[in-house]
Structure 1
Amino acid sequence: MNRPQPNEYPAWGETYISKVNGDIIEVLEEQVFTIPALFERNKNKENFAYADGKWTLKEMLGHIIDCERIFAYRMTAFARNEPQQLPGFDEDEYVANARFDERNYEDMIEEFSALRKANLYFFKSLNDTELNRKGIASNREISVKSILFIAAGHIIHHVGVLAERYEVV
């Protein structure tokens, strides 16, 4: 699958899309294993935040899970030709209201894996027509294919943040 072109997504999408190298489905499949393993290796840091007011490792995982759901919904809606605009979301408000600190960390790790595995069935089912369909989310036009790349690149971005600021390996 070819990379999305800049006219298929808002400018902010480049931050994530540019991080994806190789076959997009292979990258998404690899994340089913690498992301849970990363969080599992660092379970002793689940409540660590690198500075006051920053998310804990557990909150970061929760944010990744929330985004996995949101990206999958947006792809589904636009692949099915949804004519309505979809709302944006404030990731800080989502984390603040999610009660991730009350959740079981291991359950959250498994939740990400289960979500991504389920979503992969959908992602792989999309044909070129569906991948190229566009819709409006957060007041910006975006293609299904772009969201697919953003979903992978968003996680790559956060893995970089985890390595740099949380000293997670």
Structure 2
Amino acid sequence: MLLEQQSQQVLAMFGGLSEEKGDYRYAPGKWSIKEVLGHLIDTERIMSYRLLRIARGDKTPLAGFEEGDYVAAAGFGRFTLQELLGQYKAVRESTLALVASLPEEVSTLAGTANGNPISARAQAAILIGHELHHLNIIRERYLQ
């Protein structure tokens, strides 16, 4: 499963970094590596919740969120990379369990998130794509 493969990439990528590198920002005003990892954790929590609601047939519109505000409020810099990776693993295991528990027929159920219609399948795909996007940014801008 792609979610499992991605988690191995994340653990390998972030697990080998020093604490000093975890605080690295490639430019002023950009997130640190720890903040990017924290953002991945928070976003997966939110997207998994959306996936659960949509898969259960909940038609209540789900609000968006301001990712910059979340990162600023979280204080991810106070955690070690290993502590953040522990959170990441816990969240990913929960997501994997959720996805494994869903019957195929719910994949086409639709809801509304951030003002847009979205299916359960699309919500899972966005979760994967979001992480892939940030992993590419880490490789290109932080680990050069």
Tell me: higher relative CO, structure 1 or 2? Use CA pairs within 8 A at least 6 residues apart: 1
* Equivalent residue number for residue 97 of structure 1: 73
* Equivalent residue number for residue 58 of structure 2: 82
Q: Deviations over 1:6-62 (max 9, x none)?
A: xxxxxxxxxxxxxxxxxxxx1101122221111011234100000000000000000
- Counterparts of 1:64 and 1:114 in 2: how far apart (Å)? 12
- Counterparts of 1:81 and 1:147 in 2: how far apart (Å)? 14
* Equivalent residue number for residue 27 of structure 1: 2
- The answer as to whether partners of 1:134 and 1:141 remain within 8 angstroms in 2 is yes
With normalisation by structure 1, the TM-score equals 0.81
- The answer as to whether partners of 1:32 and 1:117 remain within 8 angstroms in 2 is no
Q: Which runs of 4+ in 1 moved over 6 A?
A: none
- The answer as to whether partners of 1:50 and 1:166 remain within 8 angstroms in 2 is yes
Superposition deviation, residue 103 in structure 1: 1.8
Aligned positions of 1:44-123 closer than 5 A:
44-123=20-99
Q: 1:148 aligns with which of 86, 103, 124?
A: 124
- Counterparts of 1:109 and 1:164 in 2: how far apart (Å)? 21
RMSD over aligned Cα atoms: 1.2
| Residue 160 of structure 1 pairs with residue 133 of structure 2 | no
Task: Give the residue type in structure 1 aligned to 2:5.
Answer: E
- Counterparts of 1:68 and 1:132 in 2: how far apart (Å)? 20
Q: Percent identity over the alignment?
A: 36
- The answer as to whether partners of 1:36 and 1:110 remain within 8 angstroms in 2 is no
Superposition deviation, residue 121 in structure 1: 1.2
Superposition deviation, residue 81 in structure 1: 1.0
- The answer as to whether partners of 1:33 and 1:113 remain within 8 angstroms in 2 is no
* Equivalent residue number for residue 100 of structure 2: 124
- Counterparts of 1:117 and 1:106 in 2: how far apart (Å)? 16
With normalisation by structure 2, the TM-score equals 0.94
